[in-house]
A and B are shown apart, each in its own frame.
Chain A
Amino acid sequence: EAGVAQSPRYKIIEKRQSVAFWCNPISGHATLYWYQQILGQGPKLLIQFQNNGVVDDSQLPKDRFSAERLKGVDSTLKIQPAKLEDSAVYLCASSRSGQGNSPLHFGNGTRLTVT
C-alpha cells in the first residue's frame, strides 16, 4: 500500500511569515495525526483527527497553529505567524482506527527552518 505522503519536504521562511504543510494519509485510515519533532527529541502530538473531527488538540498552539481535514482524507497544517522556535520537522501519521492496537504509519515529514 502507498504510504503517508507529505509535502513540501523542506521549507525555509522568515519569522512572522506563514507556512502550510499538506498530508495525504494511507487510503482507508480514519485517524490522522500531526506531530512536531524538534531536533534530538521524540515526536510531540499537535492534533489528532478522527475522520474530519478533532479528537485531541490540547497541545496545539492555537494562537498561531491551525489544522483542518475537511473531507476526512487530506489534511493541512498552517502556522501563522511563524516563530524561531517553530523550526522542527512536522510529521503526519495515520492509523486505521484511533484505538491503541492500531499502529501509526508516519510520512517522511516536512523540515521547517524559521530564520
Chain B
Amino acid sequence: GESVGLHLPTLSVQEGDNSIINCAYSNSASDYFIWYKQESGKGPQFIIDIRSNMDKRQGQRVTVLLNKTVKHLSLQIAATQPGDSAVYFCAERTNAGKSTFGDGTTLTVKP
C-alpha cells in the first residue's frame, strides 16, 4: 500500500545552521512530491514541490532533492531561523490529485 514516512520525528538545530529533513516514500507511481510546514494551531502551508521527473528544485532558502532510486526525498533549509520552527510534512501526489501525507518531523531552532 501507499505510505510516506519520515526518518526522524524530531530535529534540533542551531540558528544559522542548515537543516536537512528526510522522507522515504513507497509509491513509485506518484507524480509530485511536496513539502508542507505546519505551525502550531495552523493548517499545513505549502513550501515547495518537485515533479517526479526532476531530482532537484530550489526555492527561497529551501531545496528539495528527490532520489527515485532509493525512494527518498529531502528538504534542505539554509541558514535556519527561529521562524522555521514547525512540523514539516512530506506528501506525495498523483496526477489525479490524490495526496498521501507522512507523519511529520518537528524542527526546533535553538537561538
List A residues at the B interface (Cβ < 8 Å).
4, 31, 40-45, 48, 55-56, 91, 93, 95, 97-109
**Do residues B99 and A45 form an inter-chain contact, with CB atoms below 8 A?**
yes
Residues on B with beta carbons closer than 8 Å to the beta carbon of A56? 98
Supposing A4-B43, A108-B42, A108-B43 touch, asked if A102 and B102 sit within 8 A by C-beta, the answer is: no
**Overall SS of chain A's interface:** loop
> How many residues belonging to B are interface residues under a CB distance threshold of 8 Å?
26
**Do residues A48 and B44 form an inter-chain contact, with CB atoms below 8 A?**
no
Residues on A with beta carbons closer than 8 Å to the beta carbon of B102? 42
**Do residues B41 and A99 form an inter-chain contact, with CB atoms below 8 A?**
no
**Do residues A43 and B49 form an inter-chain contact, with CB atoms below 8 A?**
no
7 additional A-B pairs beyond A42-B102, A95-B97, A100-B31, beta carbons within 8 Å, are: A41-B104, A42-B4, A91-B44, A102-B97, A103-B34, A104-B44, A104-B46
Closest to A41 in B: B103
- Answer yes or no: B12 CB below 8 A from chain A CBs: no
How long is the Cα–Cα vector from A22 to B15 in the complex, in angstroms? 39
